[in-house]
Amino acid sequence: MGSLGLNGKVALRTLAFQGLDAMATLSTPAMAALRPVLAPGLPALTDMHFSGHVVLPAKAASIAFTGAKLTSKQGDLEGDATLGLGPNLAVTARLRAGKLDLDAMLEAFGIDPSPPTLRQGLAGPLISDTPLPWGMLRGPTLDVTGAIGALSYLDQTWQGVDVAVRLKGGHLERAALKLAAAGGPVSLSVTADATAPAVPVSLEVDAPALPPALVARIAGLPGRVGGSARVQARLRATGASLHDLGASLNGTASLAAVGGSLSNAAFVQLTGPSLAALGIKVPQQGDTALRCLGLTATFAKGVGRLAPIALETTYLSMEGTGQVDLAREIVAFRLEPLAAVSGSRVSVPVVVEGPFRGITGRLEADAFDKIGLLFNAWSGGDESAACENAGLLQKRPR
């Protein structure tokens, strides 16, 4: 199980334990082995080494650490903390870390670090209706702040990270993250009330320059993605599952990228129906250069209206508007691509519509009334103006 060293005072009265005040060291290859001795909620840290001043009161309901230092395979921490030793995990801590592997740390706490994935198979909703593990929020009590030199998550490493988590009685009152980035500070905050059967959740993101590779990883896009994207979101939802949250989504979200690239496989996955309608063949191997990508969505009760949509790439440039219904899992877009067709660049209206599991694209010059949306006509001439029209780039001289 490891080794434990103490240098201090143990108070006894009639052979009964009355408290501990000592400098302590603890080393263990697997902290999970100490759960029967200390607390069942201990994280499964590995190759762990600890040193610091320890105070354990007579009733042993909690243990306090000051000037503590902890190293493990998952990362290193130092600072002051109080750990509750009851049946539910209780942590109050003010910490600093040189480096922290968040994927490994979440796994140590029994939390799957991978982003939620879409439901597989040919039937049922694509957005999973499996209940989320909200019950994990109903036991622990956390009041933790930390400053991290380097944080790793989903194959990305972030520098200069500040974290704050406050959880009590099933209420995630605050889970906030701020980090330094070349294009400006990135901030993210989440709240949730897990005491309700249908959990209300809020998400706010302000990222002037977020690596699209992280967004692509969360969205499940294949291959390499390079560049930088501005992401902003103010979203609210209520539900027990991802599908419930999507069906009740309210708020706004936007993504804007100028420059960069993505794999051809990811490009085809994003624009396949439009490419098929236009008869454009994109090689499976290689990358697609990205001049710009812009999306702005406003959601009300799970229905999102996207306007504008702007895209300029090696194989396809287009702009348009559309609608996505997350509850019914259907989309309807009217796009104006400017594409290389039979050696010439032409603008051809395309309708992209259908259920998530069967989205199709078709050429269409009129009869858009049945989609139930208002569309803006566009004529790009020999060059696309999608980036300029969306305000992503300055207008070029014509």
Tokens of 352: 């992209």
Of the candidates 126, 138, 132, which has an alpha carbon nearest to the alpha carbon of residue 112?
132
Chain centre to alpha carbon of residue 148:
18
Distance CA 51, CA 235 (A): 42
pLDDT of residue 115: 63
pLDDT of residue 221: 79
Q: Are 389 and 379 in contact (CB under 8 A)?
A: no
Mean pLDDT of all residues in 269-275: 87
Half-sphere exposure of 154 (CA within 13 A, CB side): 15
Mean pLDDT of all residues in 91-111: 87
**Is 155 or 298 the better-scoring residue by pLDDT?**
298
Distance CA 274, CA 280 (A): 9
Distance CA 364, CA 351 (A): 6
Q: Count the neighbouring beta carbons within 10 Å of the beta carbon of residue 327.
A: 16
The listed range with the strongest mean pLDDT (103-117, 142-156, 327-341, 345-359) is: 142-156
Given a cut of 90, whether residue 80 has pLDDT beyond it is yes
pLDDT of residue 120: 55
Distance CA 146, CA 165 (A): 9
What whole-number percentage of the chain has pLDDT above 90?
Answer: 31
- The residue type at 287: D
Mean pLDDT of all residues in 273-293: 87
The DSSP secondary structure of 229-246, one letter per residue, reads: EEEEEEEEEEESBHHHHH
- DSSP one-letter code for 135: G
Q: Are 107 and 73 in contact (CB under 8 A)?
A: no
Distance CA 368, CA 364 (A): 8
**Is 80 or 124 the better-scoring residue by pLDDT?**
80
Tokens of 332: 């309807």
Q: Are 291 and 259 in contact (CB under 8 A)?
A: yes
Mean pLDDT of all residues in 141-163: 88
Distance CA 200, CA 238 (A): 4
List alpha helices for 312-392, DSSP H: 386-389
pLDDT tens track for 295-346: 999 999 999 999 889 888 888 888 889 999 999 999 999 888 775 545 555 5
Cβ burial of 237 (10 Å; 0-12, 13-18, 19+) is buried
What are the CA-CA distances from residue 23 to residues 18, 51, 56, 78 (Å)?
17, 7, 11, 15
Mean pLDDT of all residues in 135-152: 90
Given a cut of 80, whether residue 218 has pLDDT beyond it is no
Q: Are 387 and 259 in contact (CB under 8 A)?
A: no
Task: State the DSSP H helix or E strand holding residue 353, giving kind and residue range, or none if neither.
Answer: strand 350-355
- Residue bearing tokens 């008869």: 279
- Residue bearing tokens 């697609």: 288
Among the residue ranges 109-113, 240-244, 353-357, the one predicted with the least confidence is 109-113
**Is 240 or 38 the better-scoring residue by pLDDT?**
240
Whether the CA torsion 169, 170, 173, 175 is positive or negative: it is positive
pLDDT of residue 332: 94
Q: Are 294 and 308 in contact (CB under 8 A)?
A: yes
Mean pLDDT of all residues in 205-223: 79
Distance CA 235, CA 245 (A): 10
What is the 3-class SS of 279-304, one letter each residue? CCCCCCCCEEEEEEEEEEEEEECCEE
Distance CA 279, CA 239 (A): 41
Given a cut of 50, whether residue 373 has pLDDT beyond it is no
Distance CA 282, CA 301 (A): 36
Tokens of 82: 């109080």
pLDDT of residue 371: 32
User: Is 126 strand, coil or helix?
Assistant: coil
pLDDT of residue 372: 31
Q: What is the CA radius of gyration of the chain?
A: 26
